[in-house]
Amino acid sequence: MNEPIAESYQAPKKSNRNAIIIAILSVVIVVQGIKIYLDTKEKQEINTDLTSTKEELATTEQRLREITTELDERIAEIKKLGGDVSDLQRAKAEIETELNRSKRATGQEIKALKDKVEGYEMLLKNKDEEIEKLKSVNKELLTENVTLKTEKNELGDSINKLSQSKDELATKVAIASQLKVENFRIVALNDRGKERESPFRSRQLAQLKVEFNIAENNVAPVEGKKIMIRIIDENGQVLFDVARGSGTFLLNGKEEFFTASQEILFDNTRQKLSFLYDKGSDYAAGTYKLEVYTDDYLMGSGDFVVK
């Protein structure tokens, strides 16, 4: 009767041990499962954070490149308008440095980089306002410049007209101040000093006497004058002999001969001049022209005939 009872007590002990083992294993499995789940979740979160960080960095870098392009545009425009671009060039250099450094950026550095992007965007905005002001100033300057050029052209025209009027007046004064001869008289003197009027014979022409007065001219200044006479034969040749006082002068820019000359002081008193010219040889028959010059203009003329 006792043996069956002993067998019935041993069976529950073995069953309890198995249950405990199973429970422990279940706990271990659950804990492991939870750990695996938590590790997986953490990795996913890390991967998500890394992906987000990369995307954020890429977006920030892209915006920085866009800002660099915009800075180049502003630099070119402000230079064209004559403004200062030193701060823009500085900002561009800083961005290029940041782009080289951003490949190793951490999350905190990316945040700081994004803050700088906002600062650069604000700089661009300020420069846009500066560009508008520069355009306005340049427009005003252009308007003023056009006005000044117009005024300058008008002033130039006035000066040219004034200069032209002055030149015309000077020409008129110069012409008005030219001296003229009056009471023109040409006679021949023989060996005894007797005068004969033209026409006269060659043997009666020992000397040629020319007389005239210088007409009154209130415009002409009182000054020294060289009065020259030219005796021109029918062939257009000027009687010329250096030994008898002949020489040359400029007439209309060309060197011409004169037959005889006198130095006088013109004093506007209708002074009378007299020339005695001894040719030293016989005159050929013909009509001769006698011209009186001073400076580079003709004062008067006459003629005589030799038979």
Rg (alpha carbons) of the chain, rounded to whole number: 61
Taken in order of first residue, the domains within the chain and their CATH numbers are: 13-176 (no CATH), 181-306 (2.60.40)
Stretch 260-267: mean pLDDT, rounded?
A: 96
Does pLDDT of 91 surpass 70?
yes
What is the structure's pLDDT at 41? 67
pLDDT, tens digit (0-9, with 9 covering 90-100), for 30-55: 777 777 777 676 666 555 555 667 77
What is the structure's pLDDT at 31? 77
Q: Which of 89-98, 189-198, 200-209 has the lowest mean pLDDT?
A: 89-98
Between 181 and 105, the higher pLDDT residue? 181
Residue with tokens 């938590």, as numbered in its chain = 38
- The Cα–Cα gap between 293 and 129 comes to 78
- The Cα–Cα gap between 126 and 130 comes to 6
Between 233 and 108, the higher pLDDT residue? 233
Which pTM value belongs to this model? 0.50
Confidence of residue 211 (pLDDT cuts 50, 70, 90): very high
What is the structure's pLDDT at 5? 47
